[in-house]
Amino acid sequence: MTIDPSADRPVYKQLADLIRARIEAGEYRPGQRLPAESDYVAEYGISRDSVRRAIAVLRGEGLIVTELRGSRVREQGEAVTVSIAPGAQVTARMPTEPERRQLGIAEGVPILVITEPDGEVRKLPADRTIIEASKEQQS
């Protein structure tokens, strides 16, 4: 798989797609560390900022967790803390079958749909997500 800098889709989203596909294919297993940012920079010829943005997307989707020594694929059942921006909307609903498979959740588990002020939508399993509001949002 390659990244096309001339494509309409931003480079960081292309990288997020590639990493997501590797996680879904089992190439990156739960608990396994992802390659270093510099490895992605060298492999795809993209900027470190693009790599960091891709990692942020995947972290926001709940697929990975980031620690001091890098990022790793989230273990099943491990809760993820997600920050939301002021003005974001959070709703809960039951997932469609494709969403349930994609998120790896059992039947009967709802999802949280987070709509950011810029229109970006994230879908996360409600049983493994902790929502953290930014300080500006809290009263």
For residue 102, is pLDDT > 80? yes
Among the residue ranges 8-12, 32-36, 83-87, the one predicted with the least confidence is 83-87
Residue ranges of the domains in the chain?
A: 11-73, 80-133
**Angle of CA points 96, 20, 22, to nearest 5°:** 120
For residue 105, is pLDDT > 90? no
Measured CA to CA in angstroms, residue 126 lies from 78, 112, 129, 138 at distances of: 12, 5, 5, 21
Measured CA to CA in angstroms, residue 45 lies from 4, 5, 36, 51, 101 at distances of: 10, 10, 14, 10, 32
| Of residues 122, 115, 138, the one with CA closest to residue 59 | 122
Q: What is the CATH number of domain 11-73?
A: 1.10.10.10
Question: What is the pTM for the complete model shown?
Answer: 0.59
Q: Report the C-alpha gap between 23 and 31 in whole angstroms.
A: 11
Query: What DSSP element (H or E) covers 50?
Result: helix 48-60
| Of residues 126, 112, 117, the one with CA closest to residue 88 | 117
The 10s digit of each residue's pLDDT in 21-58 is: 999 899 999 989 999 999 999 999 999 999 999 998 88
Which has more pLDDT, 135 or 109?
Answer: 109
